[in-house]
Amino acid sequence: MPASTDNLIRLWASPGGHPEGYLLPEDAAFTMPEALLPLKELQAALALLPDPSDSKAYLRISLSFPEVIAAELEHFFGEDALDAARALNSPAPLTLRLNPLKSSMVSVRNAIPESTLTQYSPWALELSHRVNIYNMPGYRGGWFEVQDEASQLVALLTNVLPGQTVIEVGSGAGGKSLAMAALMESQGVIAAIDNSTQRMEELKKRSTRAGVDCITPCKVSEDMAGNWTSMGAVTQTLERLRNKADVVLVDAPCTGSGTIRRSPDLKWREVNLKSILAVQLDLLVRGAMYVAPSGSLIYITCAVERSQNEEIVEKFLDTDIGSQFKLDTYQERLASGYKRALTMAARPTKSAKQRSRATWEADQISGTSQVIPDFSTLASGLYLRSWPHLHRMDGFFGACLKRI
């Protein structure tokens, strides 16, 4: 094998193993593999890598970004693309989300004194180091969940209200559904739709721990024609909710390029992008069928590429059902959700169902005078975009659409 820079780096990053390529038994004694090259030669090869003076090559080779992501970073940030790339290459902090149904921000901070507040979510606490989350004070009691701040903002962006009907398409194990349930004070209906039995079971466990009883897990699959199929009560639930939901959140599957700091291998993982784009548009169209007149449709991904974000929204607006929607600004609804969440985080814990409607309304009024973050820093036209180097959050995209 030629001792090129590319080959040396690939070999240097390769784990040790058996020379024939098969896995060693678990009880095999570990031995340090022989050096591929003397250290001086390896250092000399590394010195040949591009430096920041050649930003284009440095971004793609030294910082190791594939062309498609590198081009997106250059599109959005120009000369500052290297700052964005370095942040994506840096480890993400551990971020917690307060569950105001079970605790208050004061209680959680007292239990976890090493935590610090974040800038954009009133429910977020950050830890600078990794910990065993299951042994942390309050975890088993449902005081908090692990959730990136950008994902928390998505729940606030929906601005869901107590008593509303809400659907999350692509809910996974329900992190955002649980956050929306907290914002709704567990009053109303959330239909969490996903195609994984395992994730639906995990959502049930998390709901119990969080004290949430308004979420209905809806396990679906697809028939040969690509239509959703389900069983019994789930079928009845989905049929009943057509054109009835106040808010539909489409949490679309994507390449996950905005979460590279959590999973660096995502940069080079092979994906069928054409298939992903088709699924994204399909789920947005399906989700739209459940939105009530004047209701809201929120589309989100954790990808940075415009092909999975702005371009999908534009294609959706050109469909028959998409013509019934218009793009809506995100800032007003995000600020409204933030104010309510801030009020909930500050008040003593008490079962939401024990509070009167008058008390709830008073809580909202008391929260309106609070200073809120400058959410305009998240703006990309009418869309919301978060970035690690600007906001200390994962790279998220959000679009708000309102049914006309």
Distance CA 199, CA 345 (A): 28
Strands of 144-146's sheet, edge to edge? 116-117, 124-127, 94-98, 144-146
Beta partners for residue 192, in sequence order: 168, 217
- Give the model's pLDDT for residue 353: 47
* pTM (whole model) above 0.75: yes
Helix or strand run (H / E) with residue 45:
helix 39-47
Helix or strand run (H / E) with residue 294:
strand 291-301
What DSSP character marks residue 31? Answer: -
Distance CA 174, CA 180 (A): 10
Distance CA 12, CA 7 (A): 8
- Give the model's pLDDT for residue 25: 59
Neighbour-count burial of 218, counting CB atoms closer than 10 A to its CB (0-12 exposed, 13-18 middle, 19+ buried): buried
Q: Name, in order, each residue with C-beta under 8 angstroms of 184's C-beta and a sequence gap of 6 or more.
A: 160, 161, 162, 163, 164, 166, 190, 214
- The CA dihedral of 308, 313, 319, 320, to the nearest 10 degrees, is 140
Give the CATH class of 149-333+371-403.
alpha beta
Beta partners for residue 194, in sequence order: 219
What are the sequence ranges of the domains in the chain? 149-333+371-403
Do residues 36 and 42 lie in contact, with contact meaning Cβ atoms separated by under 8 Å?
A: yes
Chain centroid, CA 218 distance in Å: 20
Distance CA 91, CA 260 (A): 9
- Give the model's pLDDT for residue 253: 95
- Give the model's pLDDT for residue 124: 97
Give the residues of the chain that fall short of pLDDT 50. 18-19, 224-225, 351-369
Distance CA 212, CA 187 (A): 9
- Give the model's pLDDT for residue 32: 54
Helix or strand run (H / E) with residue 295:
strand 291-301
CA-based diameter of the chain, in Å? 75
- Give the model's pLDDT for residue 248: 98
- Give the model's pLDDT for residue 8: 55
**What phi, psi does 92 have (nearest 5°)?**
-80, 145
Residues in the chain: 404
- Give the model's pLDDT for residue 355: 47
- Give the model's pLDDT for residue 362: 44
